[in-house]
Amino acid sequence: MQLNHKWEDCPEHVEILLKPEETMNANYELQWLVPMLSDKPEETGSASDNATGEILKDNGGIWLGQVYTERSLPFSSCFSLVKNILTVLREGKYTPHSSLNYMHVVEMYNLLFNAYKNNHYYKGHRDMSKVTLLLWLGEHNFTGGDILFNDFNYKIDFAPNKAILFPSHYNHEVTKIQTSSNEYVRYCVTAFIV
């Protein structure tokens, strides 16, 4: 696991590069989770436009807490991988006034598994947490699906076996997916860290 803390000439964030063997079990688990996904964005706590009430995303998703009991969640490969990433991030050194210094005291987080098909997206929004961790899994057989930090006009290209940590108050979006497949192609486990 390789961490790269970035803040100069870009929005502050950490990019975590993982080896394929570190994500292998989580990728297997995702295949098991895909049939359980809800295609109703409002069921996974979608952000909405304050003025119109429009739901800002179109994708499938499920909270891992809906699949696992509190006692069985530690057996989830996705949960274990996120827990390992957070353990490493707690040891990180951040800039003195960084929002990411909150990582040193993190204890609670919720996990959401999102999957995207052709033309799926998530428009600009801010998360209702302190810090957000995106764990990108699967393969990269599509275009789009990148994260765009709108306030900074800064984009991070989607790449499997990569995680991105950033302050949740950054306005961010997932660019529209383009693929010839009718199946889910972009997979993300999101940890909302409170």
In order of start, what are the domains of the chain with their CATH numbers? 2-37+55-193 (2.60.120.620)
- The separation between CA 75 and the C-alpha centre of its own chain, rounded to angstroms, equals 20
Alpha-carbon gap, residue 194 to 168, rounded angstroms = 10
Q: What is the DSSP letter of 49?
A: -
Average pLDDT value for residue range 123-142: 96
Alpha-carbon gap, residue 52 to 20, rounded angstroms = 42
Q: Three-state DSSP class for 15?
A: strand
* Stronger pLDDT, 106 or 71, i.e. the higher one: 71
Alpha-carbon gap, residue 46 to 125, rounded angstroms = 9
**Is the pLDDT score of 107 beyond 90?**
no
* The predicted structure's pLDDT at residue 95: 87
For helices 20-33 and 77-90, angle between their N-to-C axes, nearest 10 degrees: 140
Alpha-carbon gap, residue 118 to 186, rounded angstroms = 9
**Is the pLDDT score of 49 beyond 90?**
no
Lowest mean pLDDT: which of 55-64, 99-108, 110-119? 99-108
Q: What is the pLDDT of residues 80-93, one digit of tens each?
A: 999 999 999 999 88
